[in-house]
Structure 1
Amino acid sequence: MDINRVSPERVGNKHYELIIIGSGFGSTFFLNEAVKHIAGRALVIEWGDHYPWAAQVRDQRNSDIPQDSTYENRGDKPWNMTIGLGGGMNCWFSQAPRLHPKDFYMKTHFGVSNDWPVDYDELEPYYCQVETMMSIAGDPAMARILPRSMPYPLPPHRGTTVDEMMKAAMPEHHFIVPTGRASVVNNKRGVCCSNATCYHCPANAKFTAENGFPSLFSHPKVDVCLRSEVKSLDYRGDTITAAVFESKGKQYRVYGDMFVLGANAIQAPAILLRSDIIYGETALNLHEQIGADVEVYLDGLAALNGSTISTGLNYYFYDGDFRKERGASVVGFENRWPHGLRLEPGKWHHLLPLNIVTEDLPSLDNRVTVDPDTGKAIIHHTGPSEYGRKGLDHVLNNLDELLAAIPVESIHFRRWRITESHVQGTLRMGEDGDGSVVDHSLMHHRKRNLMVVGSSTFPTCSASNPSVTVAAMSIRAADLLYGKGALA
């Protein structure tokens, strides 16, 4: 991937039409739309460097900046991200489900958490656009619970024997997982080799910034300043005027007309805190899902014969009035052996690993602050809510009901999942005055040339993976800003 790489010295004191801070899902999908409309130039400022796919596979790492060096964690829970060009598109496993329609109206339907200022129907065409750009391989049957106006670009992966049995028994709840891992030969990237090393995909089969946007960062209108950490934003009244960033111990300032804050849900609020731009629940509600790993021993049934790392998604415990009291869960059916193979003769692959992921409630107690002396981000997280724990416990206590259609010998709890690697919240979207920080178009309520993209804007903590929703929201934001001119 070619990059129009510029030095901090070159951009210092210069002026850009668009300045984008960070280069993950939100920033990159926004930039891809913005370059179609801007007359001037765009600058991407990225804390990390470009770490090409081949180097990631060779060195077995996505970045040379340790994630835990970028913040101070006051709790035990880890928070995962990649500091480098492409952000989470480097490290994700490319599970790509949409959010459920009810996820957008938690307050209205269930009386908990918050409503989103955008709903599923409004976001649906953007989901289709993202899935087309990513060449998502998906199960058309998912339209039964997640309505869609276009087919998935690639056919679904091959499920396991267990998936076939579950789909037959629960056609309204069990589906082959949609993924950004290619299922068939295509002209964009390799085909998934099902060796369960998605973090550093050796086949280049999963969607990344490098294979998905091969010419974006070398676009004639785009400059990229790497190894540069944005520390703060200057402003005058309701207008951001400049980004202040640091590189190799030196500080620089670059001016712009429009600013897009696409750093992760830890660093984005830290930038605003250091800038004294605090409105609503800025830096509060840090969240992600909670989960558990379970292993099922199958009675006389050989499994692990699918075509990718995870093959099934089951929504049996996802939606219903119970969400007034406990969290929704999605159960992932895996096609690997994270806990080892069985030792009994003839039964080594008579097993089914499951991962259970449950939504949590955002809490004002889970937040980001900054060290008053160093400015470093500090994470404060008190743990999951009772609502989330109840949801997860319910699934664990009722797995026999879910698995009634397959021959189960025994069920074994293996571990609590310490992270889902989905850092969310801290700059949530909503209506002005309800505690939110940005509006339905992702524009800051008070700084009207500051847009925030990424999962930091999520008002709630869906059990579903956030990536395609982040991308869809970013394209929509660019459409509102440049395409329709719909901002007030």
Structure 2
Amino acid sequence: MDINRVSARAIHEKHYELIVIGSGFGSTFFLNEALKHLDGRALIIEWGDFHPWAWQIEAQRNSVISPENTYTNRGEKPWNMTIGLGGGMNCWYSQTPRFHPNDFHTQSRYGVGHDWPFGYDELEPYYCRAENIMSIAGDPDMARMLPRSQDFPQPPHKGSAIDRLMKTAMPDHHFIMPTGRARVATETRNACCATATCNLCPVNAKFTAENGFAELYSHPKVDVCLNSEVRTLEYSGDTISGATISSNGEQFRVFGDLFVLGANAIQSPAILLRSDITHGQTGMGLHEQVGADIEVYLDGLGNFDGSTITTGLNYAFYDGDFRKERSACLIYFENRWPHGLRTERGRWNETLPLMLVTEDVPHIDNRITLDPATGNAIINYHGESAYAERGIEYALEHLGELLEPLPVEAIHYRRKRITESHVQGTLRMGKAGDGSVVDGDMIHHSKRNLMVVGTSTYPSCSPANPSLTAAALSIRAADRLYS
């Protein structure tokens, strides 16, 4: 992939119409839309380097920078991300369910967490646009649960025999997983090979920055500054004027008209805190989903005949008035064997791995602070809420009822999942004065030429994977800014 590379030294003291900090879903999808409206030039500043797909496969890693080397973690829970051009588009497993309509109104409906400044209907057309860009393969039946105005760009992946039974028994709650892994090959991507190695896709089937945004990074109006960390933002009054950059042990400055901060939910608040931009609950509310691994032994029914890593999603425990007391739970039906295969003769595939994933309630004590000596990010995370734990407990207690369409022999709890690798919160959106940092258009409440994009802006925690929503939010934000 050709990239308009520039060094931090080459852009020192230069001025851009748009400066984008970070290059993950939020940043890149925003720039892709904003570029249609720019008269001047845009700059991407990325802490990591560009590592092509072929390099990642050979090296068996997504980046040379380990996430834990970019922060100090005062807890045991890991926080995963990729530091490199494309951010999470490198390492993601490309699961792309939308958020549920009621995920946007958890406070007003259930008295839990924070409402979003807009609802599902407002975001729905942008979901469609993001799905089209990524050529999402999806189950049309999902419209029963998550209304949609356009068909999925690609047909769904093949479900398993288990999914067929579950869909017949629960047609309004069981669906084939929508995914950014191609079911049908495109001009830049091959069809999914179903080898369950999605973070390092061996056939280049999943959507990535390299196979999805090559024209953006090589656009004559876009400069890409790699291996450069933004340390602070300079401002006067309510206007950001510039950014300071650290690269190869030296410091540089660059100036701009509009700044977009999408460095991830750990580094974005760290940049603002170092800059003494502390409006609202900056850095507070770090969260992600809470999960558990389950293995179900089946009697006479085989598994692993689906066509991708996760074949089914079940919403039976997802929404209802119970969310006043316990969290929503989304159940992932797996087409892989993380717990091994069965050893009984002729029964090797009579097993069903499940992931139970629940929402959590963001808490201000789970937060990002700074090391006073270095200014680097410190993660202070004290654990998930009792609300999330109750959601997991309920799902475990009632899993047998949900699985009644299947010939279940035994249900085994295997482990609590230590992370879902979805770093969220810390710069949530909302209304001015409610503790939020940005408004519904993702513009900073006090610095009006600063936008914050990506999962750091999430006011609440859906059980669903967050990346598609981050992409849709950025398309919407760009549309509203330039309309």
TM-score if structure 2 supplies the norm length?
1.00
- Give 5+ residue unaligned stretches, structure 1: none
CA distance in structure 1 between the aligned counterparts of 2:118 and 2:420, rounded to whole angstroms: 25
**Partner in structure 1 of residue 284 of structure 2:** 284
Q: Show the 5 A alignment for 1:249-264.
A: 249-264=249-264
**Partner in structure 2 of residue 346 of structure 1:** 346
**Partner in structure 1 of residue 82 of structure 2:** 82
CA distance in structure 2 between the aligned counterparts of 1:159 and 1:345, rounded to whole angstroms: 25
Measured on the aligned residues, the alpha-carbon RMSD in Å equals 0.5
CA distance in structure 2 between the aligned counterparts of 1:185 and 1:440, rounded to whole angstroms: 36
Matched, 1:122 2:119: no
Matched, 1:58 2:58: yes
**Partner in structure 2 of residue 447 of structure 1:** 447
**Partner in structure 2 of residue 173 of structure 1:** 173
Matched, 1:69 2:85: no
Q: Show the 5 A alignment for 1:403-482.
A: 403-482=403-482
CA distance in structure 2 between the aligned counterparts of 1:208 and 1:356, rounded to whole angstroms: 26
Matched, 1:273 2:273: yes
SS in 1 for 2:271: helix
**Partner in structure 1 of residue 233 of structure 2:** 233
SS in 2 for 1:16: strand
Q: Show the 5 A alignment for 1:63-462.
A: 63-462=63-462
For 1:170, the aligned partner's letter is: M
SS in 2 for 1:254: strand
For 1:271, the aligned partner's letter is: I
CA distance in structure 2 between the aligned counterparts of 1:245 and 1:373, rounded to whole angstroms: 18
CA distance in structure 2 between the aligned counterparts of 1:60 and 1:342, rounded to whole angstroms: 28
CA distance in structure 1 between the aligned counterparts of 2:143 and 2:2, rounded to whole angstroms: 38
Partner deviation per Cα, 1:411-441 (whole Å, 9 max, x = no partner): 1111110000100000000000011000000
**What displacement does 1:188 show?**
3.1
**What displacement does 1:215 show?**
1.0
Higher deviation after alignment, 183-192 or 35-44: 183-192
For 2:361, the aligned partner's letter is: L
CA distance in structure 1 between the aligned counterparts of 2:118 and 2:230, rounded to whole angstroms: 30
TM-score if structure 1 supplies the norm length?
0.99
CA distance in structure 2 between the aligned counterparts of 1:98 and 1:91, rounded to whole angstroms: 19
Partner deviation per Cα, 1:28-83 (whole Å, 9 max, x = no partner): 00010111101000000000000000000111000000110000000000000000
SS in 1 for 2:306: coil
SS in 2 for 1:11: coil
CA distance in structure 2 between the aligned counterparts of 1:234 and 1:373, rounded to whole angstroms: 20
Identity level (%): 67
Partner deviation per Cα, 1:273-296 (whole Å, 9 max, x = no partner): 000000111000000000000000
Partner deviation per Cα, 1:400-420 (whole Å, 9 max, x = no partner): 011000000101111110000
Higher deviation after alignment, 156-165 or 186-195: 186-195
Partner deviation per Cα, 1:204-254 (whole Å, 9 max, x = no partner): 000000111121111010000000000000000000010001001100000
For 1:431, the aligned partner's letter is: K
CA distance in structure 1 between the aligned counterparts of 2:184 and 2:218, rounded to whole angstroms: 29
Partner deviation per Cα, 1:341-397 (whole Å, 9 max, x = no partner): 000001000010000100000001100001011011000000000000000111011
SS in 2 for 1:411: strand
- Give 5+ residue unaligned stretches, structure 2: none
Question: How many pairs align?
Answer: 483
**What displacement does 1:187 show?**
2.4
For 2:424, the aligned partner's letter is: Q
